[in-house]
Amino acid sequence: MNKKPILVVMAAGMGSRYGGLKQIDPVGPSGEAILDYSLYDARRAGFETVVFIIKHEIEQAFKDAVGARALRAGFEVRYAYQQLDKLPEGFTVPEGRVKPWGTAHAILVAEEAIGEAPFAVINADDYYGPQGFRLVYDYLCSHADGDRFAWSMVGFLLKNTVSANGSVSRGVCVTDAAGNLHSVTERTCIAPYAGGIHYSEDGGESWTDLDENSVVSMNLWGFTPAYIAEAKAGFAAFLRENLPVNPLKCEYYLPSVVTAALQQGKAEVRVLTSTDKWHGITYREDKPELVAALQQMSAQGLYPADRLF
């Protein structure tokens, strides 16, 4: 029998543009963080084990604010630590490097905590809504690797992910007729306007319209254990190529491992589309909108009116 899927939460980053530790910033009526809502939605979707990827520097604050509530919610809670010196044999941290090694590296440091189970990956500071967790949990439970890796990604409609307070970056997805991911194109400057949604590649000098119903990636992925093996196999090569030219800032991104596996014909990535509205706090002004949305959802009965756990 297949192992039950595990939820992996990437929570090692600090919110530089927002200013502060977004992972534990209260947005709910009883001081809940965004992540508390993700835990609530994941638990009722079926997840029973959560792995938090954090830094030692935020360990106690994170455990007190989030870890304790995850335990009360009924999760088995595990921790992994994304530290700079966790590198393949033969590599050392470049002098002056303070930036983490990226999201694929985050998954690698969680290898022991994940074990041999399939797993979903989310950002700690994004609100995804209930549907995405149900979709990815059910997919992980019902699909296993065959001739190709059986991976998945929850996509969101672009119109449900933009911010009224500034431009955002989104990975715009292209799928084949079967609903499998063909490619992801990163657009780094997307903004709504009176006529719809558009993006710019030249700092706002010119704009190109985007279909508001385009499916975009918001980093809610579903993987089999093969993802870790693929990421591990590619990390040393990444370091050899990038350290000589960008030693202080190069990052090994989670989607780059997916792209490589797709290009090599090793993986099939099913795009599972959620119609829920995604919320994040890219800008400080985004927080009041999120707080109001959560209050409305509580009033509609989607969440408990007083406290989640």
The per-residue pLDDT for range 219-268, each reduced to its tens digit, is 999 999 999 999 999 999 999 999 999 999 999 999 999 999 999 999 99
Percent of the chain scoring above 90 in pLDDT = 83
pTM above 0.85, yes or no: yes
* Residue 143: both structure tokens together: 């699909």
99-113 pLDDT per residue, tens: 999 999 999 999 999
Percent of the chain whose pLDDT exceeds 70: 96
Could you give the residue ranges of the DSSP H alpha helices within the chain? Answer: 34-45, 59-62, 68-72, 103-109, 111-114, 130-142, 226-242, 254-263, 286-299
Report residue 63's pLDDT band, with 50, 70 and 90 as the boundaries: confident
Q: Which two tokens stand for residue 26?
A: 């209260």
Q: Is 252 helix (H, G, I), strand (E, B) or coil?
A: coil
DSSP 67-130: IHHHHHTT-EEEEEE--TT---TT--PPTT--S---HHHHHHHTHHHHTTS-EEEEETTEE--H
Where are the extended beta strands (E) located within 145-214? 149-157, 168-175, 181-193, 196-199, 208-210
